[in-house]
Amino acid sequence: MADLKNPKWMYAKALMLLGIGVMTFFLLLLPQELWAKILLQTLMIWAFSRAYYFAFYVVEHYIDDDYRFSGLLNFFQYVLRQRNNGSHE
Alpha carbon distance 57, 36 (integer Å) = 31
Structural domain includes residue 33: yes
**Stretches in the chain below the pLDDT threshold 50:** 89
Structural domain includes residue 1: no
Structural domain includes residue 16: yes
Q: What one-character DSSP code corresponds to residue 5? A: -
Structural domain includes residue 63: yes
Structural domain includes residue 15: yes
Return the pLDDT at 33.
Answer: 97
Q: What one-character DSSP code corresponds to residue 66? A: T
Structural domain includes residue 2: no
Structural domain includes residue 47: yes
Return the pLDDT at 28.
Answer: 97
Alpha carbon distance 34, 57 (integer Å) = 34
Please tell me the total count of domains within the chain: 1
Structural domain includes residue 28: yes
Q: Determine contact, residues 49/18, Cβ cutoff 8 Å.
A: no
What residues make up the domain containing 33? 7-85
Return the pLDDT at 87.
Answer: 57
Return the pLDDT at 38.
Answer: 97
